[in-house]
Amino acid sequence: DGGITQSPKYLFRKEGQNVTLSCEQNLNHDAMYWYRQDPGQGLRLIYYSQIVNDFQKGDIAEGYSVSREKKESFPLTVTSAQKNPTAFYLCASSSGRSWDEQFFGPGTRLTVL
């Protein structure tokens, strides 16, 4: 089945720890995205990548880092510098053409203990 997988589904982090969220797609998409979703707010873009070995900051990149070493994978690291990391994190991908849909993974819920 083609699609986007995210792991883990639930993640707990202690204060001061870095954690990495996984996102993998087998849709052969060039573009990948990370969003954050908080209750009562719309989705906000953290980082996006239009092609392998390239990525750009979104609207709320502070405290996060990414890499894009493979077309299929776009991991997100939530660093200790992110002051309020508890949220629902969604990964998405698209072909990268401006007229194409974005498809989303099932999400990872991160909770800071």
Partner 1 sequence: KQEVTQIPAALSVPEGENLVLNCSFTDSAIYNLQWFRQDPGKGLTSLLLIQSSQREQTSGRLNASLDKSSGRSTLYIAASQPGDSATYLCAVPNSGGSNYKLTFGKGTLLTVNP
Q: Report, in Å, the least distance between residue 38 CB and partner 1.
A: 10
Using CB under 8 A as the binding rule, whether residue 82 contacts partner 1 is answered as no
Cα separation of 44 and 21, whole Å? 17
In angstroms, the Cα distances linking 85 to 52, 63, 88, 113 are 26, 9, 9, 11
Q: Shortest Cβ distance from residue 54 to partner 1 (Å)?
A: 12
**Does 58 participate in binding partner 1 (rule CB under 8 A)?**
yes
Q: How far is the CB of 68 from partner 1 (least distance, A)?
A: 14
How far apart (Å, rounded) are the C-alpha atoms in residues 82 and 8? 19
| Closer residue to partner 1, CB minimum distance, 13 or 109 | 109
Tell me which residues in 13-52 interact with partner 1 (CB under 8 A): 31, 33, 40-43, 45, 48, 50
Nearer to partner 1, 15 or 41 (CB): 41
